[in-house]
Amino acid sequence: MSIFKVSCPLIPLLPDGEGYPPGFSLPKRQRNEDALNLPQLTKIFRDSLIYESKEDSKLDLCVLGVLSPYSLLSHVMVIELSENRFLPGPESFSDSEWEKLSKLSIHVINSLKHKKNNICCGFNWSPFSWGKLEERGGCQSITTKFHMMIWEWPIIHDDDFIQDIFHEIPPKHRHVFFDNSYNVPFARLLFKTIKNASVFDEKVENTSEFFERAEFTPRGLFLPIKSIYYPEIVKLKTISIKTEEIIAHLNHCIMFDSIESIYQLMKESEKRVLSDSELEILRKNPKIRELNECLDLCQNNEEKEIIQSIYPAILNRANEMNEEHEIWQKCFGFSLVLLESQQEKNLKSGLYIGLHAICGPGGCAEVLGCYLTRPEQRVADETIMINHNHEIWKIKHNLQRIDSLL
């Protein structure tokens, strides 16, 4: 599978057509600890608000601009901004709430389709990955608020596809794209789980051909889906829950610590700000089982393959002398993205799901094969910022127009 390069600066959201004001400074990027202060987090996020749904008074669905976008074109996120709801993933929403989130997401996507760019829709999930390395650059940056990211890439030119991956990809990124032995068994296990759960309707998909074209790679599972429509987004909740169940059992096999206790402690953020001592509980290294015990608890060969491949990295958590790409990402995570491509030859339309088992880079861009970097001048120059934000504000106008028709 192809790997391509994208370099994108940080782009703050400012009013349409306006440049940087005198003395402008970037807003502070929100991380794990910040996310536990829900009133403050939601207040800060409202500075990037472009649209707020009025459909349900109990569900505060919003569309925000993204400070660290994957593209110079549009990149927004759909998020629920109630200041008293802990919503780490799709599993946190009722079915009716998820349908409303999916509906808003497809309205955003449909507002982009006329431009004939590559359109992406997906999310990172790793709410229980706490620790020094995870908080510096983990998979899910905002652990208390699920956010569906929607962005577009222009046609990727041949010059942007990497030819010599060993020389052009730094060591700490290689495990994300090709240098790992855990994502192929994970992909096989997830594939069987999704297939057995009958997530995809035989009346809608040609399931025999659909599943025959599945791919299992070091980036994870690929399933061919030609276009992004509302039903595909609705299905992501079920797929996410099935993925989380796999991860939950892997965690049970590996460590004595309870994920439920971490969840309940984080859920306290609905009522109060956690104390420093409680944060240390979230950050502490788990107690690890011996390898033989881990393997005895496995339910299938795929779980055994995953654990055997990462067990040295699991033990490395106790040794801070190791590089981050040699250390297990505590409690795992995953990235899930739907891609509607305009260049099927080297960027195929479909569903991509990759396991995060190692600390360091990795997320929605990488699961699609994108080596994403920030340029030396990390903040966008004024022209780039104005052009990017103009595309973002167009989305607001399109959503308001849809509201007026309903």
Confidence band, pLDDT 50/70/90 cuts, at residue 198? confident
Structure tokens at 151: 């962005």
Do residues 11 and 67 touch, judged by C-beta distance below 8 A? yes
**How far apart, in whole angstroms, are the C-alpha atoms of residue 206 and residue 370?**
29
pLDDT the model gives residue 54:
82
Could you tell me the pLDDT band of residue 334, with boundaries at 50, 70 and 90? very high
Split into its structural domains, the chain has a count of: 1
Q: What is the mean pLDDT of the chain?
A: 93
pLDDT score, position 1:
65
Which residues span the domain enclosing 336?
A: 4-405
On the question of pLDDT at 302 being above 90, the answer is: yes
**Which 3-state string (H, E, C) describes 30-50?**
CCHHHHCCHHHHHHHHHHHEE
**pLDDT band, very low/low/confident/very high, at 165 (cuts 50, 70, 90):** confident
Residue 203 clears pLDDT 60, i.e. is over it: no
For range 235-258, the mean pLDDT: 97
CA distance 54 to 45: 18
**Amino acid letter for position 340:** E
Percent of the chain, pLDDT > 70? 97
| Average pLDDT for 211-232 | 94
Instruction: Report the pLDDT value the prediction gives residue 133, as an integer from 0 to 100.
Output: 84
Each residue of 45-82: pLDDT tens digit?
A: 999 999 999 888 789 999 999 999 999 999 999 999 99
- The answer to whether residue 27 scores a pLDDT higher than 60 is yes
pLDDT at 31: 80
CA distance 263 to 91: 13
- Tokens 């491509």 correspond to what residue? 341
**pLDDT 10s digits, 360-386:** 889 999 999 999 998 878 899 999 999
Residue 114 has pLDDT above 60, yes or no: yes
Q: Is the pLDDT of residue 255 over 90?
A: yes
Region 294-318: mean pLDDT is 96
pLDDT band, very low/low/confident/very high, at 208 (cuts 50, 70, 90): low
Query: Residue type for 354, please?
Result: G
What pLDDT is stored for residue 87 in this prediction?
98
Distances (CA, A) of 100 to 45, 94, 124, 230: 20, 10, 20, 10
According to the model, what pLDDT value does residue 202 have?
Answer: 54
Measure the CA–CA gap between 399 and 401, rounded to whole angstroms. Answer: 5
Task: Place 210 in a pLDDT band, splitting at 50, 70 and 90.
Answer: confident
Residues 6+ apart with CB under 8 A from 206: none
pLDDT tens column, 127-147:
999 988 888 876 898 999 999
Cα separation, 101 vs 78, whole angstroms? 7
Q: Is residue 204 scored above 70 in pLDDT?
A: no
Task: Tell me what pLDDT residue 55 has.
Answer: 81
* pLDDT of res. 349: 96
Q: From CA 396, how far away is CA 406, in angstroms rounded?
A: 16
Confidence of residue 192 (pLDDT cuts 50, 70, 90): very high
pLDDT band at 42 (very low <50, low <70, confident <90, very high): very high
